[in-house]
Amino acid sequence: MGDLHDVFDEMVRESPKSGMSFDSAERLYEAYNLFAKEQGFCAVCRSISSSSKYVVMSCDRFGKLDYKKHTKKTDCRAHINAIRRDSGKWEVSTVHLDHNHELDPNMSALMAGHRSLPMSVKRQLEANDIAGVPICKSVRLAQVQAGGPRNLGANARDCRNYINERRRLRLGEGDAHAIHKLFRTLQGQDARFFHLMDIDEDFRLPSVMWIHPRSIAAYQDFHDVVSFDTTYLINQYQMPLATVVGVNHHHQSILLGCALLAREHAESFKWFFSNWVEAIGGVHPTAILTDQCESIGVTESFLLS
């Protein structure tokens, strides 16, 4: 493991080089993003092959420049390519370091890809919110305790978004019990009814999923192409409803699974997909249609593997 740490540190201190090897694509991205922070840009995982053998990571300013939309895209070509070898390790194959825009390391802390709230700050923000402290005062207190806004690791909007997210996940008395009772009733009517609830140690309900027995049976015959989509509902928690939909031989849509997720986030999608594939018999779809959410795109490689 020492050699791997040396390679990681070398990329962060100096620059990516062809031949560098990492245990996983996640570890490679972590190193490339830290290198990006030192240089003054943000890194994104731009694409990954359906066979999970190739990956492209680039500057977040890749993409065509569009003056009408006023985006930050500059058609920057800085990127790295990596390939997964038979050993399972990811090896950097191609490196392009030249950017077509200025880099400012002093601004890295304010870039979206490098902002994050420490766990201690998250706990304090939520504790203050439960105690009734106004959001503006809670955020200002966190900034003061960190020694200033630049030292917090995130901006005021990040703090507000976190507080609002935790409010959505905070269950009212008996809510989780009511959902579980409903699922137990449905399972009593048909033992093949599948449901799964992800309740954390604070009795919050980050995610819940369910699959009707008829959906499981239909999937065995109609699993070639499925569509995965998320839609926000007007409800108390504003949690996105995720659905998997297929098409039968009559060209009719068939529901193959549902979930309420904490948010449109890669970890939430991975949790749903892994359990959904297991529940429907371990058979992966041949193709999947998704929307433009990058988190779904990254997770799609898992579903098709």
- The pLDDT-based confidence of 1 (bands split at 50, 70, 90) is very low
Question: pLDDT for 223-259, tens place per residue?
Answer: 888 988 876 554 555 567 888 999 988 888 999 999 8
Question: pLDDT for 98-134, tens place per residue?
Answer: 999 988 888 877 787 788 888 888 888 988 888 888 8
- The pLDDT-based confidence of 49 (bands split at 50, 70, 90) is low
Question: pLDDT for 157-193, tens place per residue?
Answer: 888 888 887 776 665 555 667 788 888 888 888 989 9
CA distance 237 to 241: 11
CA distance 45 to 31: 12
Strand order in the sheet with 79-84: 21-22, 90-96, 79-84, 54-59, 43-48
